[in-house]
Chain A
Amino acid sequence: MNKKEMEIFAQKIRVATIECIASRGFGHVGGSLSISDLLAVLYGEVMNVSPEKKDDPNRDKLVCSKGHAGPAIYATLALKGFFPYEKLFTLNQPGTTLPSHCDKNKTEGVDMTTGSLGQGTSLAVGLALADKLSNRNAKTYLIVGDGEQDEGQVWEAASFTAAKNITNLIWIIDWNKKQLDGYNKDILDPQNLEEKFKSFGFDAITVNGHNVEEIYNALTNLKKNKPRAIILDTVKGHGLKEVEETFSNHSMTVGKEVWDKWIKILKDELTSMGGAM
């Protein structure tokens, strides 16, 4: 995909994410929207993955350790053809295969079960290590929340990644400055994340997480012989001004009119970009 196509894909992910959550009436809006551009770059261009390749051990994998961003992952997978789009409307319904939090045993295309914050980091290290030990030329992409990095396990996994020089694992931190109760800086100030990763021995960079070109360059230009970490400077709720400006935008419950309005805003934007669902 070229830049324009990735931007359109990102917008389609936002539409599908909100349609998915709207079908249930509530859900994790903020942290799903903040990774929409990243997912467009990963699934649109960077990752070697497709429904046809799902059983290929040499394909790339994604671990969304902030498992509550499930709707954004499901939106992306539906658009990539892993399952029919209509399935997005079963989110959290009785018997669903699309639960709030990512589950590799339930959903086609989901590579790891997550939801207990912090745990996805070590799981991703293990996945990457398995590829390395099996001489497979595959990469694992790990998405970690900035609130999630409060967990000590994240730093245990980071130490291991650096100490054992796991270079087929790319750490991506969604630095949207917020977690559940509010702003990171008021809850447990993460200080300088880029410096933290560098001090662990990573090649680390901070880029605009809503600029597909910057994300793409970061994913492809970091030193290949070192553990890599990308800090994505993002906005929680990106793409919907009203959500961005809401203080409590982690999990949101709004009425049908509001969901419809938000879907229309996102679809109009998509049309103006020259795209269509």
Chain B
Amino acid sequence: MSIIYDGNKDEVQFKSAISETIKNLLDNDKTVVYLDSDLSSCIGCNKLINEYDRAINCGIAEANMAGIAGGLSSGGMKPIIHTFGPFASRRCYDQIFLSGGYAGNSITIIGTDPGVTAAFNGGTHMPFEDTGLYRLIPGAIICDVTDIAMLKCLMTKSINHKGIKYFRVPRKDSYKVYSNDTDFEFGKGKIIKELGTDGLIIASGIMVYEAMKAAEELANKNFKVTVIDPVTIKPLDEELIKQYALKCKKIIVAENHNKIGGLVSAVKELLCGQNVKVSHVAVEDKFGEVGPQNYLQEQFGLTSKEIVSKMISL
């Protein structure tokens, strides 16, 4: 593994990586089934529906799709389901919780357009609570995907991993953070920048890019930080986070999600009672709204600038 982040966009968008991975999974394992709910063309998977009996459009019926996935799992298949994040969490929550988790079924769920990446679809389509909901499902795995290398590796691993596995993935821009040969594991975080122990930034998803920028900006002010990508928010790499938190003492947790329920909560729960200071760069208790992603990041304070100023004032 090497960290190859240089601030440049990947030439590949997330959606092509999602469709390529699903196609490979369908080809390599005859028990894999891909279900979508009228958003297959949004991730380039409409072709798969014509090509494979095991790629099925369920129509705009997310709860039914999640229930069918549970049944498919009971029947020995390995379902992958996709829809936008709010519909992959809130809209089918009880079906994922009971027909999935509680019933002991295994489902890989892809929720696209996390948080502000829902941009022009606006508040109804902008999940700031999906991670929180999934954290409340016992044993669930949650990955706020950072880049395409992580997506491909963990989606592939998820297929043979029992239980509920939730991936929140943007559809469009990806920035390369990890080299293609990087191996990822559920519950194993990664140190992606280690300049010093003046502070620690723990960031997931699109906030990893902001954290990398913030670390450079802080270094210019002679404030040397370490950056950790938790890779999975659940299970959380408690050992790694605790070890660095105790060394660095000042911690900023950054995520494209409500400050309640997600990574921020998970880290604060872990470090409660420790001799450290923790603050966050996340969405305050607010609903989403419409607009360009960069405007929304400013609006909700999801920027490197915000990380820098919060770290300095901690």
Pick the interface stretch among B73-81, B115-123, B259-267.
B115-123
Which residue, B61, B86, B289, B299, has most C-beta atoms of chain A within 10 A? B61
Q: Does B59 contact A (CB under 8 A)?
A: yes
Residues of A within 8 A of B20 (CB): none
Of residues 257 to 314 in B, which have CB atoms within 8 Å of A's CB atoms? 289-292, 295, 299
Q: Does B60 contact A (CB under 8 A)?
A: yes
Q: Contact: A118 with B60, CB < 8 Å?
A: yes
Q: Does A99 contact B (CB under 8 A)?
A: yes
Q: Does A148 contact B (CB under 8 A)?
A: yes
Per DSSP, are chain A's interface residues mostly helix, strand or loop, or mixed? loop
Q: Contact: A152 with B46, CB < 8 Å?
A: no
State the CA gap A182–B59 with chains docked (Å). Answer: 10
Q: Contact: B59 with A180, CB < 8 Å?
A: no
Please give me the residue from chain A that is nearest to B84 by CB atom: A116
State the CA gap A92–B59 with chains docked (Å). Answer: 27
Residues of A within 8 A of B58 (CB): 150, 188
Q: Does A100 contact B (CB under 8 A)?
A: yes
Q: Contact: B39 with A150, CB < 8 Å?
A: no
Q: Does B41 contact A (CB under 8 A)?
A: yes
Q: Contact: A181 with B63, CB < 8 Å?
A: no
Residues of B within 8 A of A186 (CB): 57
With contact pairs A116-B91, A180-B39 given, residues A99 and B61 touching in the complex (Cβ less than 8 Å): no
Residues of B within 8 A of A148 (CB): 60
Q: Contact: B123 with A116, CB < 8 Å?
A: no
A-B contact count (CB 8 A): 88
B60: which of A101, A115, A117 is its contact (CB, 8 Å)? A117
Q: Contact: A152 with B121, CB < 8 Å?
A: no
Residues of A within 8 A of B124 (CB): 67, 101, 113-116
Residues of A within 8 A of B87 (CB): 116
Q: Does B42 contact A (CB under 8 A)?
A: yes
State the CA gap A27–B39 with chains docked (Å). Answer: 16
Residues of B within 8 A of A181 (CB): 36, 38-41, 46, 49, 57
User: Scoring B residues 7 to 47 as 1 if CB is less than 8 Å from chain A, else 0, what string do you get?
Assistant: 00000000000000000000000000000111111100010
Please give me the residue from chain B that is nearest to A70 by CB atom: B122
Residues of A within 8 A of B38 (CB): 147, 150, 179-181, 187
Q: How large is the interface on A (under 10, 10 to 19, 20 to 34, 35 or more residues)?
A: 20 to 34
Of residues 140 to 161 in A, which have CB atoms within 8 Å of B's CB atoms? 147-148, 150-152
State the CA gap A114–B121 with chains docked (Å). Answer: 12
A94: which of B91, B123, B125, B295 is its contact (CB, 8 Å)? B295
A32 to chain B, nearest CB (A): 15
Q: Does B64 contact A (CB under 8 A)?
A: yes
User: Scoring A residues 174 to 198 as 1 if CB is less than 8 Å from chain B, else 0, what string do you get?
Assistant: 0000011110001110000000000
State the CA gap A138–B257 with chains docked (Å). Answer: 41
Q: Contact: A187 with B290, CB < 8 Å?
A: no
Q: Contact: A115 with B59, CB < 8 Å?
A: no
With contact pairs A115-B122, A181-B41 given, residues A151 and B60 touching in the complex (Cβ less than 8 Å): yes
Residues of B within 8 A of A101 (CB): 121-125
Residues of A within 8 A of B122 (CB): 92, 99-101, 103, 115
Which residue, B58, B121, B289, B290, has most C-beta atoms of chain A within 10 A? B290
A83 to chain B, nearest CB (A): 17
User: Scoring A residues 93 to 118 as 1 if CB is less than 8 Å from chain B, else 0, what string do you get?
Assistant: 11110011101000000000111111
Please give me the residue from chain A that is nearest to B124 by CB atom: A115
A56 to chain B, nearest CB (A): 28
Of residues 60 to 104 in A, which have CB atoms within 8 Å of B's CB atoms? 67, 92-96, 99-101, 103
State the CA gap A99–B121 with chains docked (Å). Answer: 8
State the CA gap A93–B299 with chains docked (Å). Answer: 13
Residues of B within 8 A of A182 (CB): 41, 46
State the CA gap A94–B294 with chains docked (Å). Answer: 10
A236 to chain B, nearest CB (A): 14
| Chain A contacts to B: CB under 8 angstroms | 24, 26-27, 67, 92-96, 99-101, 103, 113-118, 147-148, 150-152, 179-182, 186-188, 248
Sampled A-B contacts (23; CB under 8 Å): A26-B120, A92-B120, A94-B291, A96-B291, A99-B123, A100-B121, A114-B124, A115-B125, A116-B91, A147-B38, A147-B59, A147-B60, A150-B60, A150-B61, A151-B61, A152-B63, A179-B59, A180-B38, A180-B60, A181-B57, A182-B41, A187-B57, A188-B58
Q: Given contacts A26-B120, A99-B289, could you give 13 more A-B pairs where the C-beta distance is less than 8 Å?
A: A96-B291, A99-B122, A100-B290, A101-B122, A114-B124, A115-B121, A116-B86, A147-B38, A150-B59, A179-B38, A180-B42, A180-B60, A187-B59
